[in-house]
A and B are shown apart, each in its own frame.
Chain A
Amino acid sequence: MVFALLKYGLSKAYPAREEIPRTPDLKSHYDVVIVGGGGHGASLAYHLAKHHGIKNIAILEKGYLGGGNTARNTTVIRSNYTDQRSIRFYARSLRLYEALSNELDYNMMYSRRGQLTLSHSDGVSRSLRLRADAGNFCGEANEIVDRKQIKDLVPSLNLDIKGMPILGGLWHPNAAIARHDAVVWGYAIRACERGVELHQRTEVVGMDVVGDKVTRVRTNRGDVSAGIVVQCVAGYSSVVAKMVGLKLPIRSYPLQAMVTHPIKPFLDPMVSSTALHCYISQSARGELVIGGSSDPYELYNTRSTLELKESLAASALEMFPFIGELKVLRQWAGITDMTPDYSPIMGRSPLSNYWLDAGWGTWGFKATPASGFFLAKAISDNRIPEEIQPFQLDRFERFDLVNEMGATAASH
């Protein structure tokens, strides 16, 4: 131990393994160009390389790997949605997450906590009942719980919030959290081992379209030609789509969150209240992770506001009055690509070789494994798998929306 310390402390040849390869030179052509190196881009690259033998892939990331919303989210992983089409999709993602540390041989710190969604009104109680029944119908565990059961699950929760007492809740035992960075790092490392090139600090600044095809992708480091281009750029979905002449049903809003300093573990499940616009979990480090609803107007800016932080703190205090002495340690925002129905846009675009992975808004972290899995299959077979068929862009033209507002707006 002491000798090792001396040896490596004095030597420049430190044996640390460089797991994420340095950015190589751009080649002139790739079979698949993925715009955006967040969890979704990395997952797509991994699945294309692993299951479909497509290896000549470049991920182009304007900043650093996973520095977008992947690094900014509150890591709620759950499947308690309303519409069966969503429940089945997110349930699949949850299953992939459960096995992900093994699949990638990389520790995701996946932690099954269960999620408790609170109701303070008859209306919300009814919608929770609908979600419980729809989930159970699809084979996903859900349970309606009363005040006594809530007290047993979270003894420290204040049930008698002034003006809005807790009436009951939805208990979703399989909900979990995971380490967000590890998810994107794990996928990227294993993708690169299979030949995928990760280009950090490589911003896509334009694309050339000839007929119904994207022919060139222009970046700040030079141009490349591509067989297929996929955009996975979250908050910047509309900006990048505009480069190929597409308009999307997306509006970009900041979403803010914060963590307190660490305290002794007291909160095992995640707790969320739509009426209070607040959800809380305790991280493995003991920090309280607190999030809420989106900012009130559209913005491409990750500034924070005191109003939002005050309202999060006020709601958190209603639920757990004894945390008043805690200090906020960090706070931040990410830019989320919100769709009208709170469901994603995955699949084809009107251009023949341009694919979309967008509209993940405030709910896309939990979908990172499944979006990559199904989109890779779609691209390689040139056929949309049934599981993601409902989420194609053309649903808006058909007025066939997948409405998940009630199950998403404040619990992500």
Chain B
Amino acid sequence: MKIMTCPLNGPRNITEFQCHGEVHQQPDPATTGDKEWAAYIWMSNNTAGVVREWWCHTPTNFWFLAERNTMTDEILATFPIPADGPLGEVL
């Protein structure tokens, strides 16, 4: 069993969580062309290394951010969504 630490619920079995993909900044829909918008929708960094992602603890529907190494399957840190300021997209 792999354990993930939820900022709200503490250490839980990772099967209680869902990964919702890498954090990436939504461009402004009003000023973005079709091509760029399509890239935002479909393209992925798919980084081999440290990534910053959205995760959700499904039983409590608590959303948070996690830093994870996709080469070693290590969860490096989990933290609540910052109230303001950047989410920290890893490019």
Contact = CB atoms under 8 A, between A and B. Distances in A.
Given A239-B48, A307-B15, A396 B42 contact: yes
Interface stretch (A163-171, A209-217, A291-299): A291-299
A301 B73 contact: yes
A340 to B, nearest CB: 6
Contacts of B42: 249, 340, 396
Contacts of B19: 296-298
B48 A300 contact: yes
A66 to B, nearest CB: 22
Contact of A247 (B2, B15, B21, B44): B44
B91 to A, nearest CB: 10
Interface string A232-267: 000010110000000111111000000000000000
Contact of B38 (A297, A298, A301, A397): A397
B46 A396 contact: no
Contacts of A250: 44, 46
Interface in B37-64: 38-39, 41-48, 51
B15 A248 contact: no
Nearest to B51: A298
A191 B68 CA distance: 41
B71 interface: yes
A37 to B, nearest CB: 19
Contact of B46 (A298, A340, A397, A399): A298
B72 interface: yes
A162 B24 CA distance: 43
A247 B38 contact: no
Contact of B71 (A301, A306, A396, A399): A301
Nearest to B44: A251
Interface of B: 1-2, 15, 18-19, 21, 34-35, 38-39, 41-48, 51, 70-73
Interface of A: 236, 238-239, 247-252, 296-301, 303, 305-307, 340, 396-397, 399
Given A301-B73, A397-B34, 5 more contacts: A247-B39, A247-B44, A249-B43, A251-B44, A307-B15
